[in-house]
Amino acid sequence: MRRSRADSDASHAKLSRRAALLGGVQLLFMGGLAARMNYLQVDQADQFRLLAEENRINIRLIPPSRGEIFDRNGVRLAQNVPSYRIVIVREDADDVDAVMDQLSQVIKLDPEMRERALAEIKRSAPFLPVTVADNVSWDDVSRVSVNTPALPGVSPEVGLTRVYPRGSDFAHIVGRVGRVSQADLDALEDPDAVLRIPRFQIGKINVEARQESLLRGVAGTKQVEVNATGRVMRELARREGQSGADLQLTIDSKLQNYVQARLGTESAAVVVIDCENGDLVTSASSPSYDPNLFVGGISSADYNPLLESKYRPLVNKTVQGTYPPGSTYKMMVALAALEAGIAGPDDTTYCPGFLEVGGRRFHCWKRAGHGWVDLETSLEQSCDVYYYDLALKVGIEKISAMANRFGLGIKHDLPLSSVAAGLAPTKQWKQSARGADWVIGDTVNASIGQGFTLSSPLQLALMTARIATNRIVTPRLIKSIDGIEQPSGAGDPLGISENNIRKVRKGMQVVVNDRRGTAYRSRIIADDMRMAGKTGTSQVRNITAAERARGVSRNEDLPWERRDHALFVAFAPYDKPRYALSVLVEHGGGGSAAAAPIARDVMLQALYGGEPPLEAYPTADRDRIAAQQEQLRKIQPQAAINGKDQA
Cα dihedral 344, 348, 351, 352 sign:
negative
Q: What is the pTM assigned to this prediction?
A: 0.84
Separation in Å, CA 45 to CA 48, 153, 476: 5, 42, 59
Of 406, 442, 448, nearest to 580 by C-alpha is 406
**pLDDT for res 584:** 98
pLDDT for residue 29: 76
Side-chain-side CA neighbours of residue 377 (13 Å)? 14
The CB density around residue 265, as the number of other CB atoms within 10 Å, is 8
Query: What letter does residue 575 receive in the DSSP assignment?
Result: S
Q: Which fold has domain 253-642?
A: Beta-lactamase (3.40.710)
Phi and psi at 585, nearest 5°, equal: -115, 110
Look at residue 42 in the predicted model and tell me its pLDDT.
64
Closest CA to 159 of 26, 35, 282, 65: 65
Tens of pLDDT, residues 107-130? 988 888 888 888 878 877 776 678
353 CB-contact burial (10 Å; exposed 0-12 / middle 13-18 / buried 19+): middle
Position 639 scores a pLDDT of: 44
Helices and strands: H and E segment counts in the chain = 24, 21
Within a 13 Å sphere around the CA of 241, how many CA atoms are in the beta-carbon half? 19
Q: State how far the Cα of 102 lies from the Cα of 243, in Å rounded to an integer.
A: 39
Any residues with CB less than 8 A from the CB of 609 and at least 6 apart, and which?
none
**Could you check whether the bond before residue 198 is cis, i.e. omega within 30 degrees of 0?**
no
- If we measure between CA atoms, which residue out of 340, 329, 315 comes closest to residue 387? 329
Q: Distance (Å, rounded) from C-alpha 392 to C-alpha 441?
A: 9
**Distance separating alpha carbons of residues 446 and 641, to the nearest angstrom:** 42
User: Is 17 buried (19+), middle (13-18) or exposed (0-12) by CB count in 10 A?
Assistant: exposed
- Distance of CA 539 to CAs 384, 451, 590, Å? 14, 10, 10
Give the separation between CA 408 and CA 400, rounded to whole angstroms: 8
Q: Which of 327, 378, 455, 456 is catalytic?
A: 327
Q: Which portions of the chain are predicted below pLDDT 70? A: 1-15, 36, 38-60, 127-128, 198, 222-233, 235-237, 541, 543-553, 637-647
- d(C-alpha 382, C-alpha 449), whole Å: 12
Q: How far apart are CA 203 and CA 537, in angstroms?
A: 37
Cα gap 423→308, rounded to integer Å: 28
DSSP 8-state class, residue 167:
G
CA atoms within 13 A on the CB side of 55: 7
DSSP string, 245-296: PPEEES--HHHHHHHHHHHTT--EEEEEEETTT-BEEEEEEES---THHHHT
| Residues 6+ positions from 104 with CB-CB distance below 8 Å | 114
Q: Is the dihedral of CA 448, 454, 458, 463 positive or negative?
A: negative
Instruction: Give 578-642 as a DSSP string.
Output: -EEEEEEETT---IIIIIHHHHHHHHHHHHHTSSPPGGGS-GGGHHHHHHHHHHHHHHS-HHHHH
Distance between CA atoms of 508 and 518, rounded to whole angstroms? Answer: 10
The radius of gyration of the chain from alpha carbons, rounded to an integer in Å, stands at: 37
**Interatomic CA distance for residues 343 and 348, integer angstroms:** 9
For residue 552, the one-letter residue type is V
Known active-site residue 382: no
Give the whole-angstrom CA distance, residue 110 versus residue 527: 61
| Integer Cα distance of 170 and 280 in angstroms | 13
Identify whether the C-beta of residue 317 lies closer than 8 Å to the C-beta of residue 269: yes
